[in-house]
Amino acid sequence: MNRRIWSTCLALALAAPLTARAVEVVNLNADPTPTAGGTALWITLINITDNSASKPYLITLDPGVYDLGDTRLQLKPWIDIQGSGQGNTIIQGFGNPTAGDLLNGVVKGASSMELRNLQIKCLGGGGRNGIALYNSLASPTLRNVTIVASGGDSNWGIRNNGGSPLIEDSTITVSGGSSAYGIVDTSSTASKPTVRRSVIGVSGATTTFGIYNDLSGMPAEVRDTKITVSGTTSAYGFYLNTSNGGNVGNLIASTLAASGATTNYGVHFAGVGSDALTVDNSQLTASGGTSSYGLYVNSAGLTLRHSSVSGATRSVKSTLNTPKIGLTQLAGAFEPSGFAGCAGVYDASLNFFAGPNCP
């Protein structure tokens, strides 16, 4: 090697910070019997007790089904779990052992850890609430994960109770029951997940929600995400009905479509106090049923810009306060209550309204 190049490489190596951590890798072979595989996974996780920031672990799962039955898989900090593909590695179970239980799931999350390249499947069951992933004051990272929930009296993909996970490049599919939820953010302690480049589909229930938010729950960001919901009575793409105030969220470069129910909402915003939601560069659509609203606003703090909103009944319906709308297409009648500020808005026929009045 040229002496000058060698000297430069040596200098760079000596200058580089020694921050790399050795990761303990545990490989788990799938058992031909799914219940045995689920038990092996549970025991493997239980038996790791020295996990820490200075000693992180990675559990790799071979292709197969890991059936937990009624056992909860409690994740741990500093232990990542990696499957062999979203369609190849499936962790499944019934979700909750008793009727009315909202504090469990097939998997229970932990902070400072990551799930990737696998599927979590909730099988539900009569008299149960089917929750695939439950986060209580926990904020795991999900990358390339499929979440499936069905079969319960009500069904949840992810339920965040004070947890704020990062969800990227993932798919959430929930169906059936009296109500079905893609992601729920609820708690007096803030639940503020970040969702990017993902797909959420919720269908086949009396009432369906793509993302449901109450108390102090609201995503910090939903970006490059497709949300599709359909139901029989009500369908909500993004539902916000907080009661604590102070929530700030962003819906960016995303598509939300609600259809098939008696009443359909692309976005339903009913915050309180200083709650604020910005919808930017997104498409909101509501169709079918008796009433369909692309955007339904029952609170101050809504900003809509660079977007397209379509509603068979109303593109935008504002019942109390003043949404701010700019550089946006409103395809469908606009129904304000009081003053709504518009700037550079156009309708389905491309008729332009400079503002400040709305179409």
pLDDT of residue 293: 97
In the chain, what percentage of residues exceed pLDDT 90?
A: 72
155 vs 336: which has the higher pLDDT: 155
Which of 86-95, 176-185, 239-248 shows the lowest per-residue confidence on average (mean pLDDT)?
239-248
Query: Would you list the DSSP string of 239-292?
Result: EEEESS---EEEEES-EEEEESSSEEEEEEE---TT-EEEEES-EEEEESSSEE
CA 295/CA 144 separation, integer angstroms: 30
CA 37/CA 41 separation, integer angstroms: 6
Tokens matching residue 96: 């909750």
Asked if the model's pLDDT at residue 7 lies above 50, the reply is: no
C-beta atoms surrounding 5 within 10 Å: 9
pTM, two decimal places: 0.92
Asked if the model's pLDDT at residue 6 lies above 50, the reply is: no
Asked if the model's pLDDT at residue 5 lies above 70, the reply is: no
pLDDT of residue 339: 56
What number is the average pLDDT over the span 223-236? Answer: 98
8 vs 236: which has the higher pLDDT: 236
Which pLDDT band, with edges at 50, 70 and 90, does 119 fall under?
A: very high
Asked if the model's pLDDT at residue 124 lies above 60, the reply is: yes
What number is the average pLDDT over the span 107-119? Answer: 98
N-terminal to C-terminal alpha carbon distance within the chain: 72
Topology annotation, domain 26-353 = Pectate Lyase C-like (2.160.20)
Asked if the model's pLDDT at residue 297 lies above 80, the reply is: yes
Average pLDDT over all residues of the chain: 90
- The one-character DSSP state at 55 is B
The residue type at 165: P
CA 335/CA 147 separation, integer angstroms: 37
| pLDDT tens readout for residues 57-68 | 999 999 999 999
What number is the average pLDDT over the span 281-304? Answer: 94
Query: Would you list the DSSP string of 25-46?
Result: EEEEPPPSSHHHHHHHHHHHHH
Q: What are the angstrom distances between the C-alpha of 144 and each of 58, 160, 214, 295, 342?
A: 16, 19, 27, 30, 39
Quickly tell me which residue has 């050795």 as its tokens: 22
Nearest to 346 by CA among 355, 337, 314: 355
Which pLDDT band, with edges at 50, 70 and 90, does 248 fall under?
A: confident
Taken in order 49, 131, 213, 277, the sign of the CA dihedral is positive
| pLDDT tens readout for residues 139-164 | 999 999 999 999 999 999 999 999 89
Q: Give the chain's largest Cα–Cα span.
A: 79
5 vs 54: which has the higher pLDDT: 54
| pLDDT tens readout for residues 193-204 | 999 999 999 999
Find the length of the chain: 359
Which pLDDT band, with edges at 50, 70 and 90, does 255 fall under?
A: very high
| pLDDT tens readout for residues 9-51 | 444 444 445 445 689 999 999 999 999 999 999 999 999 999 9
25 vs 274: which has the higher pLDDT: 25
95 vs 242: which has the higher pLDDT: 95
